Amino acid sequence: MDAHHNHGMETAAHNHDTGAADMQPHHCGGDGGHGHAMVFHTSVHQEILFSGWVTSSALELFGSAVAIFVASVLYEGFKYYRDVLYEKAAEVTRDSQVNIAKNESGQNRPCARPAASKSSMCSTQHIIQTCLYFVQATVSYLLMLIFMTYNVWLCLALVLGLAVGFFFFGWKRSTARDTSECCM
C-alpha cells in the first residue's frame, strides 16, 4: 500500500483468499473508536449508563461508586419490602378464608381442609406487586449494566452494596432464596 491511502485503509486487513480488502478497523466496539472495555480495568475515565454520567477524575469515580453502593443497598431493601407486602397480603387472604371456613363448618367443629391463598389477577394487591416487580427488574438490569462497565471500583461498590443490603435486610426475609431474581 502506498503512503497516501486514508486512515481506514491503513487499518484494513487484506484477505488473501479473495483479494478483497477488509475495511473493518482494528478496535473493539465498531463505534468510531469509543469501544467498550471487555476486561476488568481500573481507569477513572468511565461512562456509566448514560452519556451524561461520565467520570474523569478519581473524585468523580469515588462519588459514583458511593452512589452505586447506596443504590445496591436500597435495592436489597426494596426486595425485602416487596416480600413483606406479599406476605402481608397472603396472610390477610389466609385469615379471611379461615374465618369463612370456620363459619361454614360451625364454631365447634375444626376446619376440615386447610385454607388456600387465592387471589385474582386483577386484584389491587397483584397490580401493586406487578408494578413493584417492574421497578425491581428495571433496577436489577441497570445494576447489571453498571457491572458490565468492568470497572473494578464500580463492580466492588455494587457487590459490596448488595452484600451490606443483604446483611441488613436478608435476615428478615421469609424465604432464603429469592426466586423472582432474574440477574443474580
For 33-55, the pLDDT digits (tens) are 456 778 999 999 999 999 999 99
Q: In this structure, is residue 85 part of a structural domain? A: yes
Q: In this structure, is residue 101 part of a structural domain? A: no
Q: In this structure, is residue 99 part of a structural domain? A: no
Q: In this structure, is residue 141 part of a structural domain? A: yes
For 114-141, the pLDDT digits (tens) are 544 456 788 888 899 999 999 999 999 9
Q: Count the domains in the chain.
A: 1
Cα–Cα dist 1/21, whole Å: 11
Q: Is the pTM of this model over 0.85?
A: no
Q: In this structure, is residue 156 part of a structural domain? A: yes
Confirm if 72 and 162 have CB atoms less than 8 A apart: yes
Q: In this structure, is residue 8 part of a structural domain? A: no
CA torsion, ordered 61, 67, 68, 73, to nearest 10 deg: 150
- Number of alpha carbons in the 13 Å side-chain half-sphere of residue 157: 22
Low-confidence ranges of the chain (pLDDT < 70): 1-35, 92-119, 173-184
Residue ranges making up the domain that contains 163: 54-90+121-172
Cα–Cα dist 114/152, whole Å: 52
Reference 13, options 30, 1, 29; nearest CA is: 1
Q: In this structure, is residue 166 part of a structural domain? A: yes
